[in-house]
Amino acid sequence: MTTTEQAIRVATPPATLTPPNRKHQLSARVRTTAVLSYLVLILLALIYIYPFLISIAGSFKTDSDATQDPLSLIPATWTSAAYERLFTSVPLLQWTANSAFITVIVTIGRVFFDSLAGYALSRLRFRGRTIIFAGVVAVMAVPGVVLLIPRFLMLKELGLYDSFGGMILPLVIDAAGIFIMKQFFESIPVSVEEAARIDGAGVFRTFWTVVLPMARPAIITLFILSFQGSWNEFSHFVISRQDPALNTLTTGVASLTSGELGTGNQYPLQLAAAVLMSIPVVVIFFIFQKRLMNTTDGGEKG
Amino acid sequence: MGPTILIIRSNLTRESAMAQSLRGTTFRGRGIRGAEARYGWAFVAPAILIIGVFLVIPIFLALFVSFSNWNGLGSPLNNSALVGVDNYAKVLVEPGLAQRDFGLSIRNNLYYVIIVVPLQTALALFLAVQVNRRILRGRGFFRTAFYFPSVTSSVAIVTIFIFLFTASGAVNAILGFFGADGPNWFADPSGIIHNLLAGVGVTSAPDALLAAGPLGLDWWSWLSGPSVAMCVLIILAIFTTSGTFMLLFLAALQNVSGDIDEAAMVDGAGPFRKFFSVTLPMLKPTLFTVLTLGLIGTWQVFDQIYLTGKGAPGKTLLTPAYLAYDTSFKGLNWGEGAAISFILFIIIVSFTLLQRYVLRDRDLGRSGERRAAKREKQFRNEAAVGAAQIARKQEDSISQGERR
């Protein structure tokens, strides 16, 4: 190789001119794999997101447009007829109110009672603690679907069937939440509490003013999970009520989807309902996105 | 199905080790032990009450009902007679509609489990590895996109899927674009293995397969494969759960330090070799969790069945979970429904135990064992050569330890 050649090589960007040497081939290969993997990822992301986009688009289409041209993202004629029908001929507002009421109570209940129990199981010494904790773990292993019939039987027996009580109480505490809180409290140093206690604060006071504020990350996690869980809950509301006035968004929209309210396809109506019912969880998702995406390791790091 | 619950549960398994190490950080030697005990009980009382009343007692109540002939009127405790194991027998051994329906539900769900669990695990792992790359641009976007379907409710997702998979729906429109003629998904009860066989000219059962198999179905029916309609639910399950499991794998991947990756690269491992020999073994605990959760979850298909038409087409979407509900609430055979629930419970528990047994700690399977044995032999040789040195080193470290 002559010096002039070398000079040229230095002067020109290697990607355009140089004859392929081994190193260059490698980087080209790396680049093609990179491009390929981007393409694969983008395609996958499209598959994951596109259904939601056409659902939103579909909710603004006319019935026939939604049936004939399901793929397009832009309705042939924009119409909010589906939404108008949802608010006039379907008791959507009542469903939403029921869902909101249940979600608020269940979420508050879970956050409060789960942390209370989790704290006791991690920090307070009392006889039977180990057995109770073992019980909590055992309860977590029971598959939810298996509980449908048992829960119905119990609600009937207690006279709670077809009431908010029956819809809410069984959900108000979950063993998994207790477990999460217990694990988290165990990662908080004891010394802080001891200081508070030496200052004369009682057990509940210590818990409420000192420990709970420190458990904020875990409480946020529990809040997100409880909110999502109770807002999206379906099967429990199928077996705990039949009164249409107690329909939540999930059971109400389910009755739309499974065609209990009239015949013919009403895709825009169904899609509009699906879109509306997803808004709260999506909003929560985007608010706490950072946390959610790191939830799994955040739990450990604290 | 609650993906959220899934997240929690898997966190638990991983964190229990931590709990172990942290045990003992309780208050010790307190003078107010009595007060503490009172508060302890007061704090757990609501949990015990709710779990007891709405979980433990109901299970025993349902167990009682599963041995009774209760017809749904009044309280089961004084309006029914015990009938022994009749309900279980009707479902499991006595030929008849109940047994056949149960057989169908098991077949349908079995195919669902066999297909969904490996695919969702593999896809979740693939996605996690992809979005974990340090050089990837738009990582946040991809993670959000893949996790997003896990956030929405089953009702919303199923509604969307029904829309996507109608005869003239979006999926068939795309298939049509490629020149393929899509089926009428949700109305098609034909099994895909049967369809494949029909493709090579086998349209009816060979005589050998017409013999009665377990649970009142002949072998030909057992071998139908999932129906076309079930395939939609399979896609739906993979679509909604892969994001959740991706997050679990992602968390585990982030705990695998970059050093190990680099070391593997320096040692000349290619991307595939690196993945299978370095990354995968380190992910084993998470893999175990994901498989367990997948197995538990896929046996509990209920919402989707309820929403897509209660087992139609041709009962090929019937699952044990839905059948239990239908038998009890619609057919008013409460004993039978409860019996199906408990059988399902046993199925889930035994599948989980089986999987634990299969994946128990022997690490790499047979070829891996061979490799490990080879490695150990090599190590022994090296050890023999440098025995003296090693022994001295050990002594050193021991004495160092003592000094410390």
Instruction: Kindly report, residue by residue over B312-331, the tens digit of the pLDDT.
Output: 888 999 999 999 999 999 99
Query: Residue B117 and residue B171: Cα distance in Å, rounded?
Result: 23
pLDDT class of A223 with cuts at 50, 70, 90: very high
Q: What does R_g of chain A's alpha carbons equal in angstroms?
A: 28
Give CA–CA dist A111/A180, Å, rounded.
Answer: 11
Residue B131 has pLDDT above 60, yes or no: yes
All residues of chain B having their beta carbon less than 8 Å from the beta carbon of residue A55 are 160, 163
**For residues A149 and B368, what is the distance between their CA atoms, to the nearest angstrom?**
46
Q: Judge whether A61 is closer than 8 Å to chain B, CB to CB.
A: no
| Residue among B9, B15, B142 minimizing CB distance to A41 | B142
pLDDT score for B314: 86
Provide the pLDDT confidence category of residue A49 given band limits of 50, 70 and 90: very high
- What CATH homologous superfamily does A83-301 map to? MetI-like (1.10.3720.10)
DSSP 8-state code for residue B186: G
Could you give the 3-state DSSP secondary structure of residue A90?
A: coil
B191, β-bridge pairs: B227
CA distance B326 to B341: 11
Q: How many C-beta atoms surround the C-beta of residue B395 within 10 A?
A: 10
Q: How many CB atoms lie within 10 A of CB B354?
A: 11
Residue B110 has pLDDT above 60, yes or no: yes
Q: Tell me, what's the pLDDT at A28?
A: 79
| pLDDT of res. B24 | 41
Chain A touched by B74 (CB under 8 Å) = no
Statement: residue A4 has pLDDT above 80? no
Nearest-angstrom CA–CA distance, B76 and A150: 12
pTM metric for this prediction? 0.82
Residue numbers in A near B22 (CB within 8 A): 186-187
Using CB atoms, which residue from B15, B164, B325 is nearest to A300?
Answer: B15
Nearest to A274 among B7, B159, B348 (CB): B159
How far is B248 from B284, CA to CA, in rounded Å? 12
Domains of chain B, earliest start first: 110-315 (1.10.3720.10)
Alpha-carbon distances, residue B10 vs A180, B67, B286, B398 (angstroms): 11, 35, 8, 39
Alpha-carbon gap: A20 to the closest alpha carbon of chain B (Å): 22
Portion 72-91 of A in contact with B at CB < 8 A: none
> Is B192 in CB contact (< 8 Å) with chain A?
no
Q: What are phi and psi of B367, to 5 degrees?
A: -65, -35
Q: What is the Cα–Cα distance from A33 to B381, expressed in whole angstroms?
A: 41
CA distance linking residue A45 with residue A55, whole number of Å? 16
CA dihedral A242, A244, A248, A251 (to 10 degrees): 60
User: What pLDDT, in 10s, does the model give residues B149-159?
Assistant: 988 999 999 99
Residue B28 pLDDT greater than 80, yes or no: no
CA-nearest residue to B238 within chain A is A48
pLDDT of A113 higher than 60: yes
CA distances, B305 to each of A215, B108, B163, B327 (Å): 39, 11, 16, 14
Q: Provide, as residue numbers in chain A, all residues whose Cβ is less than 8 Å from the Cβ of B65.
A: 149, 153
Binary contact (B155, A253; C-beta < 8 A): yes
- Chain B CB contacts of A225 under 8 Å are 4-5, 7-8
What is the Cα–Cα distance from B299 to B296, expressed in whole angstroms? 6
pLDDT > 80? residue A298: no
The reply to whether B257 touches chain A by the CB within 8 Å rule is no
Instruction: State the pLDDT at residue A25.
Output: 60
Mind listing the pLDDT tens digit for each residue in B95-108?
Answer: 989 999 999 999 99
B46 vs A contacts (CB less than 8 Å): 113, 116-117, 173
Question: For A126, which residue in chain B has the nearest alpha carbon?
Answer: B37
Q: Do B141 and A45 touch (CB under 8 A)?
A: yes
Long-range contacts of A208-216 (CB under 8 A, 24+ apart): A211/A119, A211/A123, A211/A185, A212/A115, A214/A188, A215/A115, A215/A181, A215/A184, A215/A185, A215/A188
Residue B59 has pLDDT above 80, yes or no: yes
User: How high is the pLDDT of residue B366?
Assistant: 59
Within 10 A of A20 (CB to CB), how many other CB atoms are there? Answer: 8
Over pLDDT 90: what percentage of chain B?
38
Mean pLDDT over the full length of chain B: 81
Q: Which B residues in the span 323-382 are in contact with A, Cβ-Cβ below 8 Å?
A: 324-325, 328-329, 334, 337-338, 341-342, 344-345, 348-349
Whether pLDDT at B384 is above 50: no
The number of helices, as runs of H, and strands, as runs of E, in chain A is 18, 0
What is the mean pLDDT of the segment spanning A177-191?
88
Task: Mutation target for B interface from A30, A32, A48: give the one with most B CBs within 10 A.
Answer: A48
Domain-by-domain residue ranges, chain A? Answer: 18-79, 83-301
Residues with Cβ within 8 Å of residue A162, at least 6 apart in sequence: A240, A241, A242, A243, A246
Query: Cβ–Cβ of A150/B166 closer than 8 Å?
Result: no
- Give residue A35's pLDDT: 86
- What confidence tier does B389 reach under pLDDT thresholds 50, 70, 90? very low
Name the pLDDT band for B18 (thresholds 50, 70, 90): very low
User: ipTM of the assembly?
Assistant: 0.84
DSSP structural state of residue B65: H
No. of helices (H) and no. of strands (E), chain B: 20, 0
Q: How far is B223 from chain A (nearest CA, A)?
A: 27
Q: Give the Å distances, CA to CA, from B281 to B28, B127, B278.
A: 40, 17, 6
Quote the pLDDT of residue B139. 82
Query: What does each C-alpha distance from A299 to B71, B75, B78, B357 come to in angstroms?
Result: 47, 45, 48, 29
